[in-house]
Amino acid sequence: MARDRVVTPEQQSEDREPAVVQPEGGPALRPVRMAEYVGQPDLVERLSIALEAVRQRKETMEHVLLHGPPGLGKTTLAHVIATEMGTRLYTTSGPALSKAGDLIGTLTRMSEGDVLFIDEIHRMPAAVEEYIYPAMEDFKVDFTVDSGMHAKVITVGLKPFTLIGATTRAGLLTQPLRSRFGISHHLDYYGTDELLVILHRAAEKLSMSDVSADALQEIGIRSRGTPRVALRLLRRVRDFAQVRASGKVTGKVVVEALALEGVDDHGLDELDRKYLRSILETYGGGPVGLEAIAATMGDDASTLEDVVEPYLLQSGFLARTRQGRCLTSSGYELLGASAPRDLFE
């Protein structure tokens, strides 16, 4: 049976939330309050000010758009905002809203101040998007009943609510939708120090009492700057330590556990290394187009672009040029090859 890619930032079954979450509930390893949230300091400050202001005025929070790579805390922030507002959170996704009735049904159930979180909002159908404009601005929905000479428009009033949209492809959002969000922010990758704080808290919640500081440091370095990946690696290390090391988590145990998962000291897994080797061995280090790489690997081009390339680009192993993808000098060094003298000249 195929094993889930342990370093992928894409959401897995162990990360998913229920459709409706009570404010006082929440996932075990995720922060519940804004004060507990680690990382993204600029965004946290902006949201804290906005939340305090609307609480003082007893108003509904402005609509929020969060964009950036997967696994950086967009869903977690939606839960935190709902908790801070003392309201309920309703979660859905762009592809799940296949028709207008799906959206209207959710909106009419919501009470005043509730939060609607739409993940991958850029994948919401255009027909549904048209209905969300008046809902966001005027808290009402107009829909047409029947057709022809018997057609009539029915207006349904909605209680004031907050829409939080999350997307990994902000460029695919239409301008009319983007302009209706009062707060918009790009989430950046985390530093190792921030990941260490998250890992320390998670280790305590998982009752991992016998874990060394260098073990957590090793996990943080290999976590690709992504909290979701860090927590998943921590779970795999906990399982390995329980079975092979009597529950004791040391730096050596982490190295052995993640070697078994195929994760190297740069946080790269076999799919990342296969991608880089394809460029080097088949195309001489590049430049080469994404479709050609995907065909060589027998993989999907969009998967490579969304899941594999972002971290390779951020780590400096890969470069995108007008001619295509190229290995950088660090990429050549990683694969044990010599970079050509005229690289990027």
Which residue among 30, 228, 232, 325 is the active-site one?
228
Catalytic residue among 8, 30, 60, 74: 74
- Answer yes or no: 119 catalytic: yes
- Active site (annotated) includes residue 75: yes
Q: What six digits make up the tokens of 233?
A: 């690696």
Q: Is 74 marked active-site?
A: yes
Classify burial at 220, counting beta carbons within 10 Å of its beta carbon; exposed 0-12, middle 13-18, buried 19 or more: buried
| 162: helix, strand or coil | strand
User: Inter-axis angle of helices 74-85 and 41-57, to 10 degrees?
Assistant: 20
Q: Rounded distance, CA 203 to CA 234, Å?
A: 8
Instruction: Supply 39's token pair.
Output: 């990382």
Measure Cα distances from 318 to 100, 280, 339 in Å. 42, 11, 13
Q: Which of 60, 75, 83, 162 is catalytic?
A: 75
Strands ordered across the beta sheet of 64-67: 20-21, 89-93, 115-119, 162-167, 64-67, 183-186
Euclidean distance between CA atoms 31 and 38, whole angstroms: 8
Does residue 228 carry a catalytic annotation? yes
User: For residue 229, which amino acid is it?
Assistant: V
Is 188 designated active site?
no
Catalytic residues, which ones? Answer: 74-75, 119, 168, 228
